[in-house]
């Protein structure tokens, strides 16, 4: 029916002439030529099927004499349009169509003469590409599809000219074909056409080969009668089962191949599982006598371990269902709610200092007839809303157990009540709070309530963990003292700002000098031996020279006895140490002091040239030493006036020693700037 009017029409492929023709049936068996004249000669056969999925019959035309096969699409009214595809250039004598690769569209196999037969694969829109080739001895004249092995896919039989004129190719279900039968060489067949049917009523398809050679007649090939077995399949209500090459929805008997030698009649038997649930208090009941039961929690859809009877009792409220198994069928009931008592409560307050009175309020759900309280301190109650006084600090776990018609339940609130110690209060005194360093102070803890730990900070970096420590302040200053106390009830701190005042003691001046005697010039190193806190040092060397260094060095140029004093000043006051005639500077051996010779030295201090003027001209030895006693210049003068160039000398104090031939000595202190 190419034009969709319900009557079969005629599609005539043209071997020669003006082209293939389409004839419409008027419904009474009278046909009218549509005059379409579908161009193309050498047509051998056409297969009509829906190639493009639009629910009308299209045409695939096989052609011989080297002409390509063509595809014509129906417009839905019986008129065909050439797709322009030229498929192959073989001698195609036969063609048939089926969904050979199970992809939902119709594919083609063309039986070719002198070349292998060709599979053409459809992309779903009637566009074809070459698939596998079928080596059928190259003289194929006809082809027909049939599920010849009852495995629910399309196989094909090819008729050819020659010794193997009938070949059966079976499909693996994915469009790959294997040769499973061909007639033997002693029985030459010129199969011009092929037909397949059960010719002997053994339920297996047989083959009729129309023989081109009239002298030998046609050939019939009967498939071996298979073994018949029987089986029963269980079909669960509302389900389906694939058997007999189709999805079956109800009872019946269906034939299917087990293998190429065995057929099976499958009887489908429906199984109906009644999932009705009844309830009694906290127990649910399914109908008994099924194979297996499994109860589920509907909130989590997880199986409840051990719940495998036809009844189920819950200890908690919830929604539950049962999965019932009978043979191979499984069905699940609707969810059913079970309400059991649910314990809950609140206490007010839950935290505070001992003694703590707590009021408990029952918040349980569902019908409750009895209450059993355990307050965690040894006290209990059977009241619905009791009070309990906690007298001892600690954490207490409270338990409520309830019972009612729907069962029982309990709730435990661990460490629910927190009874605290009173928070400690830090306090202390120190004795004395002022004095001269080193000052020893006794601190006394005056804190109240339970205390485990004392942490003292004395303000000078010192600390203690004793309760009432004794501490010595060695340095003058004003100190803030703090005490932190920790106990079961918490922590507290007391800080007393500028609480301890430590005064410095007056320093005690003392010193030493090395050496304390020797020939002029004499360099003495003084060492401060004073004790106590000292800010400044004032030295008087007794020869008119002073210093504010702590440990100075001084050179005595002139022989004599010198009294040295050191005055120290600190926060605690001042003190002076005087040592009379402490330094004794002697005249060098063999040399007399010259108090009569007047020598003029200028400028002094000096930067460049030092001038020396004598009372007369005679032989004099001039020596210059630095403060370390190292000789840095020497010269013998015969003049009344000498000049020493000190420009390159380092800054500092020097001793100019002038000695005459008669051992008279003069010593002059020179300062180089």
HEC string of 285-300 equals: EECCCCCEEEEEECCC
Give the C-alpha separation, 22 to 16, whole Å.
15
Label residues 462-493 b or e (16+ Cβ within 10 Å = b): eebeebebebebeebeebebbbbbbbebeebe
Q: Does residue 261 have a pLDDT over 80? A: no
Q: Average pLDDT over the chain, rounded to whole?
A: 89
C-alpha distances out from residue 405 to 71, 320, 339, 669, Å: 80, 19, 10, 122
- DSSP summary character for residue 531: B
Note the pLDDT tens digit of each residue in 106-118.
Answer: 999 999 988 899 9
Q: What is the reported pTM? A: 0.45
Domain residue ranges in the chain: 297-310+319-420, 428-503, 511-586, 600-672
- 46-60, 482-496, 524-538, 649-663: least confident range: 649-663
Q: Before 234, cis peptide (omega within 30)? A: no
> Burial, 114: exposed, middle or buried (Cβ in 10 Å; 0-12, 13-18, 19+)?
exposed
Tokens of 187: 């029985």
According to the 3-state scheme, what is the secondary structure of 90-147? CEEEEEEEECCCCCCCCEEEEEEECCCEEEEEECCCCCEEEEEEECCCCEEEEEEEEC
Could you tell me if 90 and 120 are in contact, meaning their C-beta atoms sit under 8 angstroms apart? no
Name the CA dihedral angle for 27, 31, 36, 37, rounded to a multiple of 10 degrees.
150
Residue 628: is its pLDDT beyond 80? Answer: no
Please check the confidence at residue 344 and state whether its pLDDT lies above 90: yes
Model confidence at 590: pLDDT above 50: no
Pick the CATH number of 600-672 from 2.60.40.10, 2.60.40.790, 2.60.120.380, 3.40.50.300: 2.60.40.10
297-310+319-420 maps to which CATH number?
2.60.40.10
Q: What is the mean pLDDT of residues 504-516?
A: 92
Q: Please, what CATH class does the domain formed by 511-586 belong to?
A: mainly beta
Beta strands in 173-238 (DSSP E): 177-182, 189-197, 206-211, 219-221, 227-236
Domain spanning 428-503: CATH superfamily: Immunoglobulins (2.60.40.10)
- Report percent pLDDT > 90 for the chain: 57
Predicted pLDDT at 593: 44
pLDDT one-digit tens code per residue, 436-463: 888 999 999 999 988 999 999 999 999 9
What is the per-residue pLDDT for 185? Answer: 59
Q: Which residue has the higher pLDDT, 667 or 104?
A: 104
Highest mean pLDDT among 172-181, 353-362, 402-411: 353-362
Tokens of 399: 């338990």
The pLDDT tens digits of the residues spanning 466-502 come to 999 999 999 889 999 999 999 888 899 999 999 999 9
pLDDT at position 510 is 96
Which has the higher per-residue pLDDT, 664 or 39?
Answer: 39
> What's residue 592's pLDDT?
40
Beta bridge partners of 198: none
Contact 181, 148 (CB under 8 A): no
Most trustworthy range by pLDDT among 337-341, 396-400, 666-670 = 396-400
Q: What is the mean pLDDT of residues 641-646?
A: 92
- Asked whether the domain spanning 600-672 has the same topology as the one spanning 511-586, the reply is yes
Minimum mean pLDDT range among 37-46, 127-136, 587-596: 587-596
Interstrand relation of 641-645 and 631-637 (parallel, antiparallel or unpaired): unpaired
In this structure, which long-range contacts are made by residues 320-324, counting pairs with CB atoms below 8 Å and at least 24 apart in sequence?
320/284, 320/295, 320/296, 321/295, 321/296, 322/275, 322/277, 322/284, 322/286, 322/293, 322/294, 322/295, 322/296, 323/293, 323/294, 323/295, 323/296, 324/273, 324/275, 324/286, 324/290, 324/292, 324/293
């Amino acid at each position: 029916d190419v034009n969709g009017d319900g009557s079969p029409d005629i599609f005539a492929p043209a071997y020669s002439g003006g082209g293939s023709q389409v004839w419409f049936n008027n419904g009474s068996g009278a046909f009218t030529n549509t005059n379409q004249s579908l161009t193309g000669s050498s047509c051998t056969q056409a297969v009509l099927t829906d190639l493009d999925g639009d629910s009308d019959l299209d045409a695939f035309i096989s052609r011989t004499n080297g002409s390509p096969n063509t595809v014509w699409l129906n417009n839905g009214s019986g008129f065909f349009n050439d797709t322009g595809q030229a498929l192959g250039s073989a001698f195609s004598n036969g063609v048939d169509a089926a969904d050979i690769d199970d992809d939902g569209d119709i594919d083609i196999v063309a039986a070719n003469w002198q070349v292998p037969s060709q599979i053409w694969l459809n992309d779903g829109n009637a566009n074809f590409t070459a698939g596998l080739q079928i080596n059928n001895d190259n003289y194929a004249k006809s082809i027909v599809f049939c599920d010849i092995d009852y495995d629910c896919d399309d196989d094909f039989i090819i008729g050819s000219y020659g010794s193997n004129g009938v070949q059966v190719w079976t499909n693996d279900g994915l469009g790959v074909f294997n040769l499973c039968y061909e007639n033997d060489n002693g029985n030459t067949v010129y199969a011009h056409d092929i037909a397949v049917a059960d010719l002997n009523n053994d339920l297996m398809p047989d083959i009729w080969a129309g023989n081109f050679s009239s002298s030998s007649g046609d050939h019939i090939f009967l498939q071996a009668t298979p073994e018949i077995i029987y089986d029963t399949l269980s079909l669960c209500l509302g389900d389906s089962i694939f058997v007999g090459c189709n999805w079956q929805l109800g009872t019946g008997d269906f034939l299917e191949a087990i293998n190429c030698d065995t057929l099976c009649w499958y009887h489908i038997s429906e199984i109906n599982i009644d999932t009705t649930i009844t309830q009694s208090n906290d127990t649910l009941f399914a109908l008994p006598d099924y194979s297996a039961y499994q109860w589920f929690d509907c909130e989590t859809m997880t199986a409840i371990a051990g719940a495998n009877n036809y009844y189920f009792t819950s200890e908690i409220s919830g929604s539950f269902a049962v999965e019932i198994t009978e043979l191979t069928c499984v069905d699940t009931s609707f969810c059913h709610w079970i309400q059991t008592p649910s314990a809950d409560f609140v206490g007010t307050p839950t935290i505070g200092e001992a003694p703590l009175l707590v009021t408990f309020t029952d918040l349980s759900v569902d019908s409750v007839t009895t209450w059993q309280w355990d307050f965690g301190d040894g006290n209990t109650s059977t009241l619905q809303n009791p009070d309990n006084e906690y007298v001892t600090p600690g954490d207490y776990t409270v338990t409520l157990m309830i019972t009612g018609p729907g069962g029982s339940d309990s709730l435990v609130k661990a460490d629910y009540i927190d009874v605290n110690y009173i928070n400690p209060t830090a306090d202390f005194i120190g004795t004395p709070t002022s004095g001269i360093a080193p000052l020893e102070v006794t601190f006394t803890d005056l804190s109240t309530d339970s205390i485990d730990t004392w942490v003292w900070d004395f303000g000078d970096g010192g600390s203690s963990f004793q309760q009432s420590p004794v501490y010595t302040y060695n340095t003058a200053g004003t100190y803030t003292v703090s005490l932190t106390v920790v106990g079961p009830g918490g922590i507290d701190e007391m800080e007393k700002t500028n609480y301890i005042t430590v005064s410095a003691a007056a320093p005690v001046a003392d010193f030493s000098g090395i050496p304390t005697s020797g020939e002029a010039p004499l360099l003495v190193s003084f060492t401060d031996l004073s004790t106590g806190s000292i800010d400044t040092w004032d030295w008087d060397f007794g020869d008119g020279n002073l210093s504010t260094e702590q440990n100075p060095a001084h050179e005595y140029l002139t022989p004599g006895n010198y009294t040295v004093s050191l005055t120290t000043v600190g926060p605690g006051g001042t003190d002076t140490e005087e040592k009379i005639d402490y330094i004794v500077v002697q005249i060098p051996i063999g040399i007399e002091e010259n108090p009569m010779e007047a020598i003029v030295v200028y400028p002094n201090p000096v930067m460049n040239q030092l001038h020396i003027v004598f009372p007369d001209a005679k032989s004099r030895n001039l020596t210059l030493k630095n403060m370390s006693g190292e000789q840095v210049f020497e010269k013998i003068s015969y003049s009344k006036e000498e000049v020493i160039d000190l420009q390159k000398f380092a800054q500092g104090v020097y001793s100019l020693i002038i000695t005459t031939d008669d051992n008279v000595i003069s010593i002059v202190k020179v300062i180089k700037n």
